[in-house]
Structure 1
Amino acid sequence: MEENEFRDALRTVVAQSPEPPPMESATAVAAGKRAQRRRTVLACTGAVAALAVVTIVPARYLGSGPSNVGDIQVAAPVASAFTPPPPAKGIPQPSDTKPSWPAEANGDATADTGPRYQKGKKLLGDLLKVVPSGYGTPTGKDADGAEFQAHQAAIEYPEWSYLSSVTITKDGTAGQIYVEVHEPDNTLPTEPCALARSFWTIGGPCQVVEVGSAEVGVVTPVGRKQRPDQIAAYRYADGTVVFVAQSKQSIFAQPPLAADPFTASELAALTLKEAFHVRA
């Protein structure tokens, strides 16, 4: 099929497709941004080439690739061939505490430098400190440029949030742990289970785990292939929200862990870890 035929066929499909039901604008924006952040993490936050029409998905996300964690190859960072143009004279330039809009123009702003970027980086370091003994934490990137350890500071709706992800390995298998923190000015639910179910809109059966006087929602999705396997969530009195999640399957095509690294009670306790209580 040549280009004009493809364009005509695409127009026909769009014209014949039923119009989706209207959504309240704020809800649509919030859902879109959270979905984008989830895709970012599941794509290992590696370097992604943004194409105008076609997005190429690496084979390892389709279930192929090496099957031994010990075979993970760490590639040296690849220098970008793109040199940004100098700022135009007379136009105010954002400070390093402002968001940097990615080339994909997907509506999600991330901090590349500055205090908020550093908060996200520190959160990754604090997540590494809670990895149980006996697990490896590979560093660097795989051959596709995907990072084994990643962090991000981004604008949600309307607050800033911080997300860190770590690949953990044991006996030739690999899993994943996450921590995501939202600053107080957020619109997330207050009830513990509703809060836990809101993480990446995964949902699932929930139990409320008491950690001292605190009530933490812990969701364990059932019958779902998507990661993570278990999510704990807690809202502090000042409004800060902390999610901690774990998965027996890593975001790389490797054999999964035999068991989750944390029990439900241990995962719940991590949400109250002072290091994860990121202040605005």
Structure 2
Amino acid sequence: MNGEELRDALCSEMASITPPPPLSTGATLGAARRAHFRRRAVWASLGSVAVVLAVTGFAAVGDPGGRVYQPAGGLPAPSERSGDTKEAWPTGPDGRPQEDRTARAGTKHDQGVHLLNEVVSVVPAGYTKPDDPANQPAEQRTLRTHQAQFEAKVNGVDLWSYMSSVAVAQGTGTGRVIVEVHDAGNPLPTEPCALAQNFWGMQGECQVETVGAAQVGVVVRPGSDERLDQWSAYRHPDGVVVFVAQGTRLDESRPALKQLPFSVPQLAALAVDERFHLK
């Protein structure tokens, strides 16, 4: 095929192709506006999440992957129960209903602070207990957190849970210790391992440890959920439930501990410890 024949063949091929429709300024602008609207909607949704966390306080606990987890709860709150949305949150010390689950003042809030202090007190020798910088905004706290959270009203009685998380450091590594306490009357399981495996919905290899006359469930190895490494669970005779958890890693920004602060027997004993038996 010579050059002239090649040009004729190309022209014939191009003629057989249906040309695209001419550009429409209106259509182009419309598509651009729709894409811009979608981007704004996504950012607005993310902003709403940030506002919720800021309003409710930094009460949730994040894992090394950046996900955020609320303390375990057995029953939905008033505003979450179908057909019961008119029921108010518990009354705060100012005589008005709370804005959400979290108590920010009063005796319930003070119980959360008390629990935090008790958790700090049990960190074993050889580990430091780094605190947050002074005047740091509450929603940015990462080293120590505490929360008193309303769970539900059962038979006219308000049920609460309390959670405290404390960073523990040794050498260049930083992990954490978490204690969560649930009021008597909670619907959590009674059997030790069933109770332990209910913590934050996590599963794992559980064994029962004997502490005096108490039977304590201890998850010694987590399943696929790696938020924490080990945790214990105990239901006191009066119904109060205590979870004690430990992890070698606080978050991805810090190196992990080389070993956990507590042995399995020590972790079980802490779940029975009267310092965490909030009443």
TM-score band w.r.t. shorter chain: 0.5 to 0.7
1:241 aligned partner:
241
Q: 1:183 to 1:263 in 2, by over 3 A?
A: same
The change in CA–CA distance for 1:238 and 1:225 in structure 2 (over 3 A counts) is closer
For 2:83, the equivalent position in structure 1 comes to none
Q: CA distance change for structure 1 residues 147 and 215 in 2, over 3 Å: closer, same or farther? A: same
If each structure's strand is expressed as a fraction of its own residues, which one has the higher value?
2
Q: How far apart are residue 37 of structure 1 and its match?
A: 11
Q: Which residue of 2 aligns with 1:230?
A: 230
Matched, 1:154 2:174: no
- Give the count of matched residue pairs: 204
Q: Deviation of residue 252 (structure 1)?
A: 5.3
User: Identity rate of aligned residues, in percent?
Assistant: 39
Partner of residue 71, structure 1: none
Do structure 1's residue 124 and structure 2's residue 122 form an aligned pair?
A: no
Paired letter, 2:66: Y
Q: 1:42 & 1:204 partners in 2: Cα distance?
A: 19
Alpha-carbon distance, 1:6 to partner: 7.2
**Aligned pair partner of 1:101 in 99, 102, 107:** 99
Partner of 1:169: 169
Offset of 1:7 from its aligned partner? 6.7
Per-residue deviation, 1:134: 1.2
Instruction: Indicate if the aligned counterparts of 1:99 and 1:111 stay in contact, CA closer than 8 A.
Output: no
Distance 1:236 1:3, change over 3 A: farther
1:115 maps to 2:120: no
Q: Is the 8 A contact 2:248 2:257 kept in 1?
A: yes
* Residues 193 and 118 (structure 1), Cα distance of their counterparts in 2 relative to 1, 3 Å cut: same
Amino acid at match of 1:272: V
Displacement, 1:8? 7.9
Task: Please give the per-residue CA displacement for 1:124-166, whole angstroms capped at 9, x wherever unaligned.
Answer: 0000110001111111158982331110000124420000000
Task: Tell me by how many angstroms 1:229 deviates.
Answer: 0.5
Counterparts in 2 of 1:39 and 1:113: CA distance versus 1, 3 Å = closer
SS at match of 1:190: coil
Residue type at the aligned position of 2:142: E
* Higher Rg of the two aligned structures: 2
Q: Does 1:61 align with 2:53?
A: no
Partner of 1:187: 187
Gaps of 5+ in 1: 10-35, 45-59, 63-92, 103-108
Distance 1:153-1:222 versus aligned 2 partners, 3 A rule: closer
How far did 1:251 drift? Answer: 3.2
Question: Counterpart in 2 of 1:41?
Answer: 61
TM-score (norm 2): 0.65
RMSD: 3.3
Instruction: Say which structure, 1 or 2, has more relative contact order (CA 8 Å, 6+ apart).
Output: 1
